[in-house]
Amino acid sequence: MNLLIASVPCCRGSRWIAGVLLSLGLAIGAGTLFGDDADGSLTDENWTPPKGLPVFEFPEDNRPSADKIALGKQLYFDKRLSQDMTISCASCHDPAKGWSDGEVTSTGVGNQKGGRNSPTIINSVYNQFHFWDGRAGSLEEQALGPIQNPIEMNMKLDLALERINKIPGYREQFEKIFDGPATEKNLAQAIAAYERTIVSGDAPYDRYAAGDKDALSESAQRGLDLFFGKAVCSACHSGPNFTDNAFHNIGVGMDKDKYDKGRVVVTGLGGDTGAFKTPTLREIARTAPYMHDGSMKTLEEVVEHYDQGGIDNPWLSEDIFPLELTEQEKKDLVTFMKEGLSSESYPNHKPPRLPE
């Protein structure tokens, strides 16, 4: 058994989650949870998470169901949740773009530009905090933020609910699933239930770690050794989801006269100045540009930043210091991240038909 999976306790056990998955009629195949191409072969006896990922716990008050996830998916792709009906969750977290948007900073209603890069929501089910500054403690809380943000979807929540409840197809689904119309709580629950299905594992790294020594090229293997060794990437990008779920100041943007203060705005703790959440590195090759401000276009730039020891400032993390990597070591490290952490079972979900 994969030790990373075995080390994480399962809420009610994997057989309970397997039963849920079976009821959804969704097959994992090569490791895709809740994929679009179900083959009906899933059983309690053969279900396992994608290689490298632990079983996760669902909130007690938001257990998944096929109907709830389908509703959440429709809402996720529906631009009618924005004030001018031009922006959906998928606009900034697009499956075709690594569940990000490929932009330096995201564009909201009225072509307004936000101040931060759109983070991927891949494997967000494993996150302890959401948004770059961690201001949301659950996916349910996170789901309502962009809808109300004036430079994202700019929709007052009462108006969003009024609009949704006027759509017969939505009204029928909410009545069936939640025994009533759309509310602030169940709107968030539906979207969050869908977002928990966006999971990526079973990458070449996972197969290599499980004993398949041909899963990684020689360059990627050298990069793996660097990742967990000389380059000390794993000091922050640790665990099965390659994040410590913590916040660090790595110097990005701190050389500007006006810099993003990050986590300190949430906690009020001076040491959190300029600190941002460690993102997952799963599918990292798909989610450029990088960093909270989208200032780095390539992984090569990211590695160079760390090799130089970040940008010095009073709150720089103690884990950031010059690495003195050779040019070949830098290439190998990038190869590992691109090759080793990209999965063939990437969850490239297609937009659903929306209710009328």
If you write DSSP's letter for every residue of 144-156 in order, what string do you get? HHHHH-TTTT---
Q: Judge contact between 323 and 232, C-beta under 8 A.
A: yes
Residue 10 pLDDT more than 60? no
At 280-320, the pLDDT tens digits run: 999 999 999 999 999 999 999 999 999 999 999 999 999 99
Would residue 152 show up in a list of annotated catalytic residues for this protein? yes
Task: Give the whole-angstrom CA distance, residue 36 versus residue 170.
Answer: 21
At 80-98, the pLDDT tens digits run: 999 999 999 999 999 999 9
Task: Give the whole-angstrom CA distance, residue 101 versus residue 276.
Answer: 19
pLDDT of residue 44: 29
Task: Give the whole-angstrom CA distance, residue 29 versus residue 291.
Answer: 32
Supply φ then ψ for residue 100, to 5 degrees. Answer: -125, -150
Question: Average pLDDT for residues 327-335, to the nearest whole number?
Answer: 98
Domain extent at residue 327: 204-340
The CATH number of residue 328's host domain is 1.10.760.10
Given the residues 140, 152, 283, 329, select the one marked as catalytic.
152
| pTM given for the model | 0.87
pLDDT of residue 117: 98
| Residue 189 vs residues 59, 64, 131: alpha-carbon distances, Å | 10, 9, 17
Mean pLDDT of the chain: 88
Residue 26 pLDDT more than 80? no
Query: Is 276 contained in some domain?
Result: yes
Q: Which two tokens stand for residue 94?
A: 């697009």
Query: Is 32 contained in some domain?
Result: no
In the structure, what pLDDT confidence band is assigned to residue 57 with cuts at 50, 70 and 90?
A: confident
Question: Average pLDDT for residues 249-264, to the nearest whole number?
Answer: 97
Strand, helix or coil for residue 136: strand
pLDDT of residue 47: 39
In the structure, what pLDDT confidence band is assigned to residue 34 with cuts at 50, 70 and 90?
A: very low
Q: Which residues, 6+ apart, have CB-to-CB distance to 187 below 8 Å?
A: 75, 143, 144, 160, 161, 164
At 99-119, the pLDDT tens digits run: 999 999 999 999 999 999 999
Query: Is 282 contained in some domain?
Result: yes
Query: Is 325 contained in some domain?
Result: yes
Q: Which two tokens stand for residue 37?
A: 């191409």
Query: Is 54 contained in some domain?
Result: no
| Cβ neighbours, 10 Å, residue 218 | 9
- Cα angle 121-125-131, degrees, rounded to a multiple of 5: 50
pLDDT of residue 49: 73
Query: Is 220 contained in some domain?
Result: yes
Domains contained in the chain, number = 1
Query: Is 275 contained in some domain?
Result: yes
Query: Is 261 contained in some domain?
Result: yes
Residue 66 pLDDT more than 60? yes
Please choose, from the candidates 303, 293, 312, the residue with its C-alpha nearest in 3D space to the C-alpha of residue 250. Answer: 312
What DSSP string describes 191-260? HHHHHTT------HHHHHHTT-TTSS-HHHHHHHHHHTTTT-GGGTS-TTTT--S-EE---TTTTSSS--
Q: Judge contact between 125 and 199, C-beta under 8 A.
A: yes
